[in-house]
Amino acid sequence: MATLDTSIDRAIGGKAAKALHQAFEMETVGDLLCHYPRRLADKGKLTDFSDLPLGEHVTVLAKTVVVKSSPFWPKHGGRRGTRTEVRATDGTDGRRELVMTFFQQPWKQGQLQAGTIAWFSGKVTLYRGHRQLSNPTCEVVGRGSDLDEFEGEETQRWVPIYPATAKLTSRAITDCVEQVLEVLDDPPDLLPEEVRAELGLVSYATALRRIHAPADPPEWETARARLRFDEAFVLQAVLAQRRRMMMSLPAVRRPSREDGLRSRFDAQLPFTLTGGQLGVGADIADDLARQHPMHRLLQGEVGSGKTVVAVRAMLQVIDGGGQAALLAPTEVLAAQHHRSIVSMLGPMAEGGLLGGDQDATRVVLLTGSTPAARRRQALLDAASGQAGIVIGTHALLEERVQFAELGMVVVDEQHRFGVEQRAALTGKGGFTPPHVLVMTATPIPRTVAMTVFGDLDVSTLHELPAGRTAIQSNVVPVAERPDWLGRAWQRVREEVDKGHQAYVVCPRIGGEPESAMAEPVLDDEGFSPRRPPLAVADVAAELVDGPLAGLRVFMLHGRLRGEEKDDLMRRFTAGDIDVLVATTVIEVGVDVPNASLMVVLDAERFGVSQLHQLRGRVGRGTTPGLCLLVTEAPAGSASRSRVEGVAATTDGFELSRLDLQNRREGDVLGASQAGRRSSLRLLSVLRDEGVIAGARDVAERVVTADPTLAGNPSLAAAVDRLVALEQARYLERS
Ligand code: ADP
Ligand code: MG
């Protein structure tokens, strides 16, 4: 007999185990049984070709219409061979055909003669406008005019179709699964009996058997519903435990003071805070005064003024005797925060300097490229407590960065940091953990918040400061309107003539070997630009010699040294640069209110939220912002609609939905490497809001009743596995 932990090697023998391992890195029976069928095929029905995903390995049931063999001569010489071309139909109207070519298998001519019904597996590609299966394998089911003729022959009508590879077909996986299910002991159930009854879910053992070998589709759905719930439930149990743990931690209270830096800062602000900034600010002020650490996520539209909210919170902490660390995802952004916070604070940031305010503090910057002398001073200021605010990139996570009394950690643009990275920084608070504020400009739907940030309280800034005009975005479709590009450069000139500044964004720096370039994305319509993405270096050179001759054009990208980037941003902020040709280094947070125009080249190569972030760099002051999205993607292609979708709305929440729909679930949760095993196989954080909310309630109840899960070993084990998986990912990334 076998359990989920038994190795597949033992359960089904070495050869099959090796194939499973090579294809999907499977080790145990549990790994195999968690490889769920992608769909259930009806043996009584041919597969509809119209929704076969391009580029994926599929298994279809089809009927051959034409089978032709012809001689061919191999390219590099050698003996004459046979090529057998098979055209198959999905039985609809004869117009939807699938073409398959078999080389050196002359027997296929007889095996697949017209009218044969067979399972075909292979990768879907497009060839001269026809769907084609490349490197197909086949398994004959029968022959005839009507599929019903075969129905009696085999008992199983519903066939599970698995994600498969060229070497390991869906059928081969089915065989392995069948063998394993025969010897499997019923695994224990991690859902308490009464919860199962209450929610009307089948047992785990039943679900595991039914998802692989259901009698019919409704049975398959009951299995999927149960297993989908489990995915949400284990995740929510982890989060419930984490919340509980944090609630039990002590923190130093930092209540707001009437006579501190924070009040002085408020009094000298050059603008009035928005209602949202005040409301969220009050929540944070209360959090900081409690004896448990704050864990709050602040989400807000691009330009909604999150930084001021964070600065006020940091000053409250300093007033309470603590220090604050501000973690930014890029050097450009860290340097900008440093510059703008220093200038916002004025004399309040000149602690220990002549002319500094009494009880003023210091704001220091610490990134990978901070020169040695300044770095030493910054480290010293952090360790001695002189620096009230320490701003930096990942460099802040390094061990030698010490604080005298770290009272608060602010993480800007959260989506670049994982839970563990947050933990590495909060660990620097010593025995009493600091308060944590996480800021993100990528608004996330509620379910995603419950899943990805389920351990945080969420605040949202909905409004933009008064006087902002919405950014206008236009698509420049150079495929149909090549002349519009010239017009775009003309617009850049006009803006500069008016005293404004502009960004030109390209997907690539330039000068890198071709192998280092990302593969072009092939979208649904098979649109794939044949040229490499445009590069900053090439575009800048062309602009300087051509349409933007005479303007002060500079390049900004990730390969420049830290000081160079810093210097460029400083000069751009000061207005000494007219046009910055840049990569996405300017994507997050860069704040130059005088910049009014952005031209994004190869716009279809950027993601939805990336484009939204990018255009958020213009229209930040009172000048209206304009964003021109230049694309060669033809009208009607998926790429083009994505770009048009971004142009059509500036509502970040709507866009983040659009974005998430375009991505795989795994990416949403941060596990983006293709082929990685995700802990979510059935659960969709977008569609399954009800499941997630239900699982969250149950998890909260279960964890409250039994915080260590001592009474439910299988749940405890599942929780451990998920935590270990998350940690493993963190290690891989760092
Ligand atoms: P984000 O939320 O995108 O990080 P920032 O905090 O960078 O936005 O703020 C964008 C700009 O708006 C900054 O120049 C900031 O000084 C300004 N700002 C913030 N709050 C207000 C306000 N209440 N009124 C006017 N301008 C504001
Ligand atoms: Mg910001």
Distances (CA, A) of 429 to 388, 413, 425, 725: 14, 21, 8, 26
Produce one character per residue of 594-632: b if its CB has 16 or more CB atoms within 10 Å, e if not.
Answer: bbbbbbbbbbbbbebbbbbbbbbbbbbbebebbbbbbbb
Ligand 1 mean position, distance from CA 620 (Å) = 8
**Residue 625: enclosing H or E segment and its boundaries?**
none
Question: Of all residues in the chain, what percent carry a pLDDT higher than 70?
Answer: 86
Give the integer Cα–Cα distance in Å for 353 and 361: 10
CA distance 177 to 210: 12
pLDDT digits (tens, 9 = 90+) for 397-438: 777 899 999 999 999 876 555 555 666 666 766 668 899 998
Contacts (Cβ under 8 Å, ≥6 apart) of 527: 633, 634, 637, 638, 639, 640
Q: What is the pLDDT of residues 545-585, one digit of tens each?
A: 999 999 999 999 988 888 888 889 899 999 999 999 999 88
CA-closest residue to ligand 1 atom 1: 303
Residue 27 CA from chain centroid, whole number: 27
pLDDT the model gives residue 285: 97
- Return the ligand 1 atom nearest residue 591 CA: 7
Q: Which of 266, 272, 307, 650 to mutate to test the pocket of ligand 1 (most atoms within 8 A of CB)?
A: 307
User: What CATH class does 261-288+305-440 carry?
Assistant: alpha beta
Name, in order, each residue with C-beta under 8 angstroms of 324's C-beta and a sequence gap of 6 or more: 313, 314, 317, 318, 388, 389, 390, 406, 407, 408, 409, 410
- Minimum CA distance residue for ligand 1 atom 24: 465
Identify which ligand lies nearest to the alpha carbon of 298: 1
Q: What is the mean pLDDT of residues 177-186?
A: 95
8-183: CATH architecture: Beta Barrel (2.40)
Residue with the smallest CA separation from ligand 1 atom 15 is 305
Q: Which CATH architecture has domain 471-649?
A: 3-Layer(aba) Sandwich (3.40)
pLDDT at 166: 74
CB contact at 8 A, 635 and 482: no
Which residue's structure tokens are 């117009």?
A: 95
Closest C-alpha among 144, 178, 174, 137 to residue 159: 174
Instruction: List all residues whose CB is within 6 A of at least one atom of ligand 1.
Output: 271, 273-274, 277, 300, 302-308, 441, 465, 589, 591, 593, 620
Kindly identify the ligand whose nearest atom is closest to the C-alpha of 412.
2
Q: Which of 525, 508, 499, 513 is nearest to 600 (CA)?
A: 508
**CB atoms < 10 A from the CB of 514, how many?**
6
Nearest CA to ligand 1 atom 13: 305
For residue range 3-15, list pLDDT tens digits in order.
999 999 999 988 9
Of ligand 1's listed atoms, the one at least distance from the Cα of 467 is 25
Answer whether 8-183 and 261-288+305-440 agree in fold.
no
Query: Pick the residue with more confidence: 731 or 406?
Result: 406
The pLDDT confidence band at residue 635, using thresholds 50, 70 and 90, is confident
- For the chain, state the CA radius of gyration: 30
Q: What is the pLDDT of residues 486-496, one digit of tens each?
A: 999 999 999 99
Look at 52-56, 176-180, 496-500, 533-537 and tell me which has the smallest mean pLDDT. 52-56
* Residues 223-259 pLDDT 10s: 999 999 999 999 899 889 988 887 888 899 999 999 9
Domain boundaries, the chain: 8-183, 261-288+305-440, 471-649
Report d(CA 331, CA 560) in Å as an integer.
11
* pLDDT digits 0-9 by tens, 274-330: 999 999 999 999 999 999 999 898 988 777 899 999 999 999 999 999 999 999 888
Q: Could you report the per-residue pLDDT of 151-176, keeping only the tens digit for each?
A: 444 456 788 989 888 788 888 899 99
Q: Which amino acid is at 477?
A: P
Classified as helix, coil or strand, 554 is strand
Flag whether the pTM goes above 0.85: no
d(CA 162, ligand 1 centre) in Å = 50
